[in-house]
Structure 1
Amino acid sequence: MNWIFLLIILLATLGGGLIPMVVRRVTPNFPIYMLAFTGACLFGITIMHLLPEVYHELGHQAGIYIVLGFFLQVALQALSHGAEHGHTHIPTDGHHHVQIFPLLLGLSIHAFMEGIPLGFQFKDPAALASLVIGVAAHKLPEAFTLITVMMHAHQRGGRLWRILIIFSLVTPVAAVLASVLGQHSTYISNITAYIVALVIGAFLHISTTIFYESGTKHHELSYRKVIAIAAGLLLAFLTLIFE
């Protein structure tokens, strides 16, 4: 387990959550282009690095679990309401009612799942470093959205910090557990490969949803959004230098 990689994930999550806490007024287009960039990066890394790994490990069964992971993410959205891909769903009727526990539960399950591949023993030496970049990029808008919703729900001060810190630790803790348990149990190591396939399905759902939506009212594909997507894909392609 590379502790520097886990630190990168932790700092990316904290950084994403700090933006709405310290910036008084965030430009409305900022989350849109951040989502487009990070979603494209995650998509490219999933296709280029993670898919070959699970098909090498699981063969044709990999496709079954990838599809299951895709629809597992659909089910998780019943709790998180799409916060993984930037949806805040903040009420505008003046009631300011946000269901905090389901949102935290859904996002925490997703965060735990995406930490498990970080503890997997990849055959491709470039896969883990590339995955760290993809997950770290994804954590920025994920934490940004979570804290934005929490602030709207009037979570302030120490409680807001506790939510951010605990959420930031979920993915690194999952990575450590997957790594340690996988090293001491062949059974756990084999199970991890199937979980990686599930996570790939979830990543594909999240990243493709971001392409179509990214917070825009009419799901338009502006030239700025195209540039953000292209930049994200370029970063994903640059991870091939780790080969």
Structure 2
Amino acid sequence: MNWFLLLIVLLATLGGGLVPMFVKRVSPNFSIYLLAFTGAFLFGVTITHLLPEVYHDLGHTAGVYIVIGFFLQVFLQQLSHGMEHGHTHIPGEHHHNIAVFPLVFGLSVHAFMEGIPLSFHYDDQSTLPSLVIGVAAHKIPEALTLMTVMMHAHLPKARLWRILIIFACITPLSAVIAYFVGNKSETVNHALLYIVAMVIGAFLHISTTIFYESGTKHHELSKKKVAAIALGIGLAILTLIFE
């Protein structure tokens, strides 16, 4: 278990959540291009690293679980209203009547799933650090959106801090649990691979949704957004040199 890599995920989540709490106004362009970059990087790492590892271990069965994970994420999105991909579909989110629990619960289940792939030793030594960077990058806009919505719900500051700290711990804690449980039983460790396949499906859903939905009313691709996506994909491909 690489504790330093898990610390990166924890700090990225905390950092993203602190932005709306301490910065009065975040530029919409910042969120657009950050989402495009992090979504593209996560997509690239998933395709170039995580997908081959899972197919190597599970064979064609992996595809079934990837599809299940894709549609599981569709279901979770009904609870979280799209916070996983950096924005929400909550009508009137600036009002006081935001249902906090379903949002946090749906996003927390997703965060727990994200941690499981971080508990494995992969054949390719570059897979785990690349995946950690991808998840950490994804956590920044995810936590930023979560805390923005929680602030719109006018929660007390102490509760905002509790939500952020607990949410930041979920993914690293999930990785730790999966690591120790998996090490006790080869059967359990193999079963966790099917969950990793489902996480791939969730990642594919989130990252592709970011490409098409984030940033504009008509979902068009501006030149700067294309550049952010290209940069994210390019850096993900560059991680292959560390194989």
Q: TM-score, normalised by structure 2?
A: 0.97
Q: Alpha-carbon deviations, 1:161-195, whole Å to 9, x = none?
A: 11000000000000001111111111110111101
Look up the match of 2:86.
Answer: 86
Separation (CA, whole Å) in 2 of partners of 1:55 and 1:147: 36
Amino acid at match of 1:56: H
The equivalences for 1:135-154 within 5 A come to 135-154=135-154
Look up the match of 1:38.
Answer: 38
Deviation at 1:93, TM superposition (A): 8.3
Amino acid at match of 2:241: I
Separation (CA, whole Å) in 1 of partners of 2:45 and 2:30: 23
Percent of aligned pairs with the same residue? 71
Equivalent residues of 2:69, 2:199 under 8 A apart: yes
Look up the match of 2:166.
Answer: 166
Look up the match of 1:215.
Answer: 215
CA RMSD of aligned residues (A): 1.2
Q: Which moved more, 1:110-119 or 1:207-216?
A: 207-216
Unaligned runs of at least 5 residues, structure 1:
none
Equivalent residues of 2:79, 2:103 under 8 A apart: yes
Separation (CA, whole Å) in 1 of partners of 2:136 and 2:185: 28
Look up the match of 1:106.
Answer: 106
Separation (CA, whole Å) in 1 of partners of 2:80 and 2:93: 20
Look up the match of 1:124.
Answer: 124
Equivalent residues of 1:84, 1:142 under 8 A apart: yes
Deviation at 1:230, TM superposition (A): 1.0
Deviation at 1:29, TM superposition (A): 1.5
Look up the match of 1:188.
Answer: 188
Q: 1:204 to 1:93 in 2, by over 3 A?
A: closer
Deviation at 1:87, TM superposition (A): 1.9
Unaligned runs of at least 5 residues, structure 2:
none
Q: TM-score, normalised by structure 1?
A: 0.97
Deviation at 1:90, TM superposition (A): 4.6
